[in-house]
């Protein structure tokens, strides 16, 4: 086989249709674009225009609320923290903070803080210092003899 003998498989490529080249070609006169007007021209065509009728995207109600500066929190379940304590990656004797969770590999990066969620079994006596915690998480930690200090409540009180 030589480079000058290489060619595509039969039917792999189609030849381009040359439009607007006479009535005999089958694609003459308006070249498959229909009649005259905006749709026959090249360039801008009004997207969503419904002939003067109010367009669908303006007829439907706006919904929801997007906060201007939402917080990007890490969500950590108690079961995940317990498995890190059992593996010896986290020390339950020291306060469990964002830095400790990153060092243990429970959380990849800090973001805006950590929210503690109550999924999973938790039996270690530990002190948590996190941005926020769910009610079930606080109950589970206090039941095990630990405590949860939320930095969100401090920020609200300070600010």
> What's the pLDDT tens digit per position in 50-94?
889 999 999 999 999 988 888 999 999 999 999 999 999 999 899
- Within a domain: 139: yes
- Within a domain: 147: yes
Report how far Cα 86 is from the mean position of its chain's Cα atoms. 32
pTM value is 0.58
- Within a domain: 51: no
* Region of 51 on the Ramachandran plot (φ > 0 left; ψ -120 to 50 alpha; else beta): left
- Within a domain: 142: yes
Helix (H) or strand (E) holding 152: helix 151-158
Range of the domain at 123: 74-158
146: domain CATH number is 3.100.10.10
Tell me the C-alpha distance between 23 and 30, whole Å.
10
Question: What is residue 69's predicted lDDT score, i.e. its pLDDT?
Answer: 87
Question: What is residue 59's predicted lDDT score, i.e. its pLDDT?
Answer: 95
How sure is the predictor about 159, in pLDDT bands with cuts at 50, 70 and 90?
Answer: low
Of the candidates 89, 64, 78, 72, the residue with the CA atom closest to the CA atom of residue 116: 78
Cβ-based neighbour number of residue 80 at 10 Å: 18
- Within a domain: 136: yes
Tell me the C-alpha distance between 4 and 2, whole Å.
5
- Within a domain: 137: yes
- Within a domain: 153: yes
- Within a domain: 82: yes
How many structural domains does the chain have? 1
């Amino acid at each position: 086989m030589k480079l000058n003998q290489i060619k595509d498989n039969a039917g792999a490529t189609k030849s381009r249709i040359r439009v607007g080249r006479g009535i005999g070609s089958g694609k003459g006169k308006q070249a498959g674009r229909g009649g005259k007007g905006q749709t026959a021209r090249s360039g801008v065509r009004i997207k969503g225009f419904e002939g003067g009728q109010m367009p669908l995207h303006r007829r439907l109600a706006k919904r929801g609320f997007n906060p201007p500066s939402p917080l990007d929190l890490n969500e950590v379940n108690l079961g995940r923290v317990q498995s890190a304590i059992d593996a010896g990656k986290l020390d339950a004797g020291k306060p469990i903070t964002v830095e400790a969770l990153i060092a243990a590999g429970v959380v990849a990066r800090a973001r805006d803080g950590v929210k503690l969620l109550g999924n999973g079994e938790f039996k270690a006596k530990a002190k948590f210092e996190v941005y926020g915690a769910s009610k079930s998480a606080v109950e589970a930690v206090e039941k095990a003899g630990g405590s949860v200090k939320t930095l969100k409540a401090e920020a609200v009180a300070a600010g």
